[in-house]
Structure 1
Amino acid sequence: MKKKLLTICLSALIIMVGAGCSKSYFDINNNPNSATNTTPELVLPQALTATASGQIIDYTFVSEWLGYWCPSGSYAISSSDLASYRQTTSFGDGIWTSFYHNLEDYDYIEQAAKTQSKSFYQGTAIVMKSFVFQQLVDMFNNVPYSQAFKGTNVIQPSYDGAQAIYENIAARLDTAVTLFKRADAVAASNSDVLFNGDNGKWIQFANTLKLRILMRQTQMAGRTSYIQSQIAKITANGGGFLSSDAAVNPGYANNSGQQNPFYGFCINTAGTYIGDFWRANQYPISFCMSNNDPRYQYLYAPTSNGGIYQGNVIGSATNHAANSASTFGPGLLKSASQPAVLISGAESFFLQAEAGLKGLISNSPSALFQNGVQSSFSYLGAGSAASYYTQSNVNTNYDACTTDAQRLACIIRQKWMAMNTVTPFEAWADYRRLGLPADVPLSVSPYVDVLAIPVRILYPASEYQTNAANVGSQGTINHHTSKIFWMP
């Protein structure tokens, strides 16, 4: 992990993950790990913006695999398409590099804030390092952790075990909560583009992230007592969980390089729709229409040719062309200045609902489930969800379910709906952990190597070139069979 010039970008990845970054309004042009003219207050907003910019754009592959997006039929399919489920070691190079650059910035913030006795910034850096490392583990399993960010002292860092990383970041989140409770934990004006210096919200964010980490491990044998003890610590700190979106906004505006990253991915500053490649998947449209769910009208837009809601099928050679397939809708493309979500309020409620169902927390899973559905409706601008989650339907009404298996499937189904193009990575995690939703359509591409959604990303080519011994010690990695440690 050599020290490199930081370039934070809001540029979009179009098909594969490894596209490069370009400069934008939100760039900073110093390497904060060796800089003499920067501070945690100056680095934090750019670091948060970089993290937020990738939560949809870096995960285009997830949005296709999990049934949210499909390519337009105007583009020919090939053996290299995401729909083939194929991977090479170049697949994850861009994510690996950008994530570790982002982590270098948070590491600088943490170390500098500790030296300068700035508790607020030390706490934010710990939380955000935990957030990014959790996603790295969820993609690659074992990764460099304890020896990362050592500069020339450790040019080729060893790989830490994924479970050990998870346990360490869970403990560090407790440390962050303690820091946020200190009287001297104060943010400088305009430096916190996530919660505007609200320590209580940061504690809720840390608690919700920790709950996500713990719920990932619920399918593992022998982890129940550990999970229970860790949830007890969350309960004891009294901060609670997120009830609204944790969303970054550094001042997005309808100017070049300043747009919300997903909005700018789809619409230019002149208001022209430029997202020619991606269109709706038919699967969520069909689900909504079959279950009296109005959200498809907010997730997607009617076609320009015919004015209907119509999606495509992953891997099909006969998909609808661009003007005959739905683009993204008004609930997702609100404005150039819309915030970029890290953890949604809906996800927080669904995590709590699942924890309640499994007896890990005492709150009513039914009420939490309903709050999660309403949060999704509210985010999209779809109005009240009351008539939706009370209809006699096990796909939409937790209380209509008669078994715990049905209840879990209902929670995850609605969580999958809520994550559509908001934080799609969580849908992939749930699918790998639980196999839910059970009917996510698989690709019909004739180029598929294995007919299954991949369980991980291969280690990047850059690691095999610069850290060969350590990445080689992980053995032969297969993206269909080499599971993340928490997978059953």
Structure 2
Amino acid sequence: MKKLVSHKISVALVLITLLSSCSDLFNEPNIKSNPNAVTDVDVATLLSGTLLGVAMIHEDTDVRIGAIWAGQLNGLARQHQGYADYIVSSQNFSWSPLYPAASQARLIQTKADAVGDKWTKGIGQVLEALLIAKATDFYGDIPYSQAFDDVKYPTPTFDKQADVYAALQTTLDNAIQNLSAPAGLAIATQDFIYGGNVAKWKAAAYTLKARLYLHAGDYAKAVTNATSGISSTAGDALIPHGTSQGVDYNQNYDFFRVNRAGDTGFDGAYLPVLMQSRIKSANTKTDETSLYNHYFKVGITATGSLDPNTTDGAFTASSPHPIITYYENQLILAEAQARLGVTDKALDALNSVRKGLASGYINGKTISATGLKYDAYTLSDFAPTGLANPTKLATVQTALLYEIISQRYIFLLMQYEAFNDVRRLEKATPVVQLPIPLYTGTKKPERFIYPQNEVNTNPNVPKPLPDQFTKIPIFQ
């Protein structure tokens, strides 16, 4: 691994990176040769810059590729049409700014130790876990144990994915311990996610642990951690945005409406088909028309096209973007309980999400009350003839699981967990999957390909190089 970022961090450069639509700005030569780079910063300022990097990574091209490969979004022109055709190479992928941001998260911890600040250290550990989790979920085996000391380990080994997952759980355990400390530095101004509220960061750490246990199929531990996770929508980790182009636009808006209008859309994607089928079903307890209109709008880029709603919906310039949320926490709890056969508690968790959606709340916004209905389900609704069992699945458990994974798929639009789900569900037991069609061919993308820069510079890259159709270990 080439040196990704100096331990003398330039927070200013991170800020420029996030707010620029040019992804090349964060390429390594630009970092190394920047004559105006800040040579050192205090831990609070470093936290602010690192959060900007984390925000970028949750709204970047990788997330769009994941949405396309999950069937939520379609690539219609130029490079994104190639993604929809599953045509990629190592040249399409990069570990910048993912690893530079993770390096900053590690540096936060070092600087926090130097001033005895356990709270900020705990936040840095949560951020590190978020970033490395994304890396391993997209690539499988990755550098982690040797990733942040480029002097000692200029070509770090690739840790097995199972070892990465175990290390992430330890990192999050340590984060929870640090966030439970009685005192720490006041960082409300620098923390634009939670305003320095360490209780919210602690709950988010538990939800992230639950997410990772769900990936691994350890449903009992997923339940245990989700129970301590984000407990209301007030605890949602949301990236704030505004209406100033080049300053604080939601990056989905910037892509969908400003820079690459028409390159992607929902024509031919499975998500709107699924939602339309649910709207037209005989389910008298549910009406998702309002949410459908929140996501999609006809004719923004071309007459008759089904586009992201950048006008008054989920993808406006100022729309917050989710990192990890209460709804995800409850859907983790619902799925894990259902897989354990505890259907009554699974239903309670699902109904808590439906109650929230019935209020109109989703990811920091309130959708129209017209066409909005999410009445509470009962277990009888999932019987073979029940109103919430449209595919007539044989058992309440499998029908309930189908509804839970459908709700996850709908809710996780433009969140990379959707791509994790479509791969994870091939392995999870009992097997319950959505009938998501391929855009082309007979093989489904399973992973990202190791970046060419890493292939060129690190002899430890796995050989032969796995292609995009090779499953990552945790989903095998």
**TM-score relative to the length of structure 2:** 0.81
- Counting only pairs closer than 5 Å after superposition, residues 51-62 of structure 1 correspond to structure 2 as 51-58=54-61, 59-62=63-66
1:204 shift after superposition: 0.8
1:284 shift after superposition: 2.6
List per-residue Cα deviations over 1:169-201 (Å, max 9, x = no partner): 112211111111111134323111111111111
Match of 1:308 in 2: none
SS at match of 1:97: coil
The 1:251–1:459 alpha-carbon spacing in structure 2 relative to 1, beyond 3 Å, is: closer
Q: Does 1:386 align with 2:374?
A: yes
Whole-angstrom CA distance in 1 between matches of 2:260 and 2:461: 39
Higher relative contact order (CA 8 A, sep 6+): 1
1:406 shift after superposition: 2.1
Match of 1:487 in 2: 475
Whole-angstrom CA distance in 1 between matches of 2:320 and 2:51: 12
Q: Does 1:117 align with 2:116?
A: yes
1:325 shift after superposition: 0.5
Whole-angstrom CA distance in 2 between matches of 1:77 and 1:124: 36
List per-residue Cα deviations over 1:82-115 (Å, max 9, x = no partner): 122132111222xx12100111111111111112
1:4 shift after superposition: 3.0
1:430 shift after superposition: 1.1
Whole-angstrom CA distance in 2 between matches of 1:281 and 1:416: 17
Match of 1:470 in 2: 460
Kindly indicate whether the alpha-carbon contact (under 8 Å) linking 1:110 and 1:123 is maintained by their aligned counterparts in 2: yes
Task: Give the number of aligned pairs.
Answer: 432
1:388 shift after superposition: 8.5
Kindly indicate whether the alpha-carbon contact (under 8 Å) linking 1:205 and 1:241 is maintained by their aligned counterparts in 2: yes
Q: Does 1:414 align with 2:402?
A: no
Match of 2:306 in 1: 326
Whole-angstrom CA distance in 2 between matches of 1:428 and 1:208: 18
Whole-angstrom CA distance in 1 between matches of 2:197 and 2:79: 48
List per-residue Cα deviations over 1:337-383 (Å, max 9, x = no partner): 33221013221111010122133989821121122244455216144
Match of 1:358 in 2: 339
Match of 2:429 in 1: none
- Counting only pairs closer than 5 Å after superposition, residues 248-263 of structure 1 correspond to structure 2 as 248-249=238-239, 252-263=242-253
Whole-angstrom CA distance in 1 between matches of 2:4 and 2:469: 33
Kindly indicate whether the alpha-carbon contact (under 8 Å) linking 1:110 and 1:122 is maintained by their aligned counterparts in 2: yes
Match of 1:266 in 2: 256
The 1:118–1:455 alpha-carbon spacing in structure 2 relative to 1, beyond 3 Å, is: same
- Counting only pairs closer than 5 Å after superposition, residues 272-421 of structure 1 correspond to structure 2 as 275-282=261-268, 283-292=270-279, 293-294=288-289, 295-303=291-299, 322-329=302-309, 330-334=312-316, 336-359=317-340, 364-375=345-356, 378-379=361-362, 381-383=367-369, 384-387=372-375, 392-394=386-388, 402-421=395-414
Corresponding letter in the other structure for 2:434 = A
SS at match of 1:50: helix
List per-residue Cα deviations over 1:231-279 (Å, max 9, x = no partner): 65x48xx8443432633446644243222222333345xxxx9623222
The 1:385–1:173 alpha-carbon spacing in structure 2 relative to 1, beyond 3 Å, is: farther
The 1:302–1:389 alpha-carbon spacing in structure 2 relative to 1, beyond 3 Å, is: farther
- Counting only pairs closer than 5 Å after superposition, residues 60-209 of structure 1 correspond to structure 2 as 60-72=64-76, 75=77, 81-93=82-94, 96-209=95-208
The 1:340–1:243 alpha-carbon spacing in structure 2 relative to 1, beyond 3 Å, is: same
Corresponding letter in the other structure for 2:70 = L
- Counting only pairs closer than 5 Å after superposition, residues 456-467 of structure 1 correspond to structure 2 as 456-467=447-458
SS at match of 1:337: coil
SS at match of 1:151: coil
Whole-angstrom CA distance in 1 between matches of 2:211 and 2:335: 10
Match of 2:18 in 1: 10
Kindly indicate whether the alpha-carbon contact (under 8 Å) linking 1:302 and 1:326 is maintained by their aligned counterparts in 2: yes
SS at match of 2:59: helix
List per-residue Cα deviations over 1:7-42 (Å, max 9, x = no partner): 33236889xxxx52379xxx99999xx965301200
SS at match of 1:342: strand
Kindly indicate whether the alpha-carbon contact (under 8 Å) linking 1:346 and 1:373 is maintained by their aligned counterparts in 2: no
The 1:3–1:191 alpha-carbon spacing in structure 2 relative to 1, beyond 3 Å, is: same
| CA RMSD of superposed structures (Å) | 3.4
Whole-angstrom CA distance in 2 between matches of 1:41 and 1:200: 18
1:57 shift after superposition: 2.7
Whole-angstrom CA distance in 2 between matches of 1:251 and 1:84: 32
List per-residue Cα deviations over 1:199-250 (Å, max 9, x = no partner): 11111100000000001011xxxxx5xx646865x48xx8443432633446
Whole-angstrom CA distance in 2 between matches of 1:397 and 1:48: 43
| Aligned with residue 431 of structure 1, among 415, 422, 441 | 422
The 1:161–1:176 alpha-carbon spacing in structure 2 relative to 1, beyond 3 Å, is: same
Corresponding letter in the other structure for 1:288 = M
Identity %: 21
**TM-score relative to the length of structure 1:** 0.79
Whole-angstrom CA distance in 1 between matches of 2:241 and 2:101: 19
